[in-house]
Amino acid sequence: MQINSDLSKRAAVEGDKLDWVATRLPGVERRMLERDGAESGRATTIVRYAPGSSFSPHTHTGGEEFVVLEGTFSDDMGDFPKGMYVRNPVGSTHTPSSADGCVILVKLWQIPPEDQEFVRVDINDAENWQPGRCGEQVLALHETEDEVVQMLRWSPGALFEAREYPDGAEFFVIEGSFTDDHGTYPKHSWLRLPPGAKHTPKSEEGCLIYVKTGHLSGAVEKLFK
């Protein structure tokens, strides 16, 4: 299965316009934003758990990171309510479920095996946030030599200068909306900019977005080997 799998090209998807697709497990559905492979391989997906649903125990051969968008996600390590960022490294195992239902943004097969750090960050904790550019707050989620993962909160009316991304960037809108030179990105939109791309973002209503940078050059090189 190939969905927005060419990492050398820009991709933009309004997640809320996609149909929910049933998985092999009852009560678990997904909206696929990007995918390279069938049930294993690079994927960025919005997943919805119905109340009382669960996923079978499994090991993340390529690692996993997710953000809880609605409800509470649970597994062997605890309960993760709305606003939690979780990163589980390659080789980690768990049994996901949700007693009351939840929606999560999930990224699979995108963590290098040498990065073995488990990460849990509460987006709702004001003490975790730091000032950024004018009209911006920044929450650091995870950083290595190859990638920087952050939450950005842009104030209503925020306007920024053009920025180039030599190693690419990804954005997912959790709340609000923003625009750039190429379009408008409402809640649950996903945007991928390939290495060397630039844009000039602004947000009239304000927004909260997940952002990952610095990670696509190496991935594109592997794609075309």
For the segment 200-204, the average pLDDT, to the nearest whole number, is 97
Question: Quick one: average pLDDT of 17-30?
Answer: 94
Which residues, including other chains, have CB under 8 Å from residue 6's CB and lie 6 or more apart? 223
Looking at every residue in the chain, the average pLDDT score rounds to: 93
Task: Locate 217 and state its tokens.
Answer: 């050059």
Domains of the chain: 2-121 (2.60.120.10), 125-223 (2.60.120.10)
Mean pLDDT, range 17-38, rounded to an integer: 92
Radius of gyration of the CA atoms of the chain, in A: 17
**Tokens at residue 184, please?**
């408008």
Q: Which two tokens stand for residue 9?
A: 């090209």
pLDDT above 90 (res 171): yes
For residue 13 the two structure tokens come to 């998807």
pTM above 0.85, yes or no: yes
CA angle 146, 110, 100 (to 5 degrees): 125
Q: What is the pLDDT of residues 115-170, one digit of tens each?
A: 999 999 999 999 999 999 999 999 999 999 989 999 999 999 999 999 999 999 99
Residues shown for the chain: 225
Positive or negative: CA dihedral 93, 97, 98, 102: positive
pLDDT of residue 55: 84
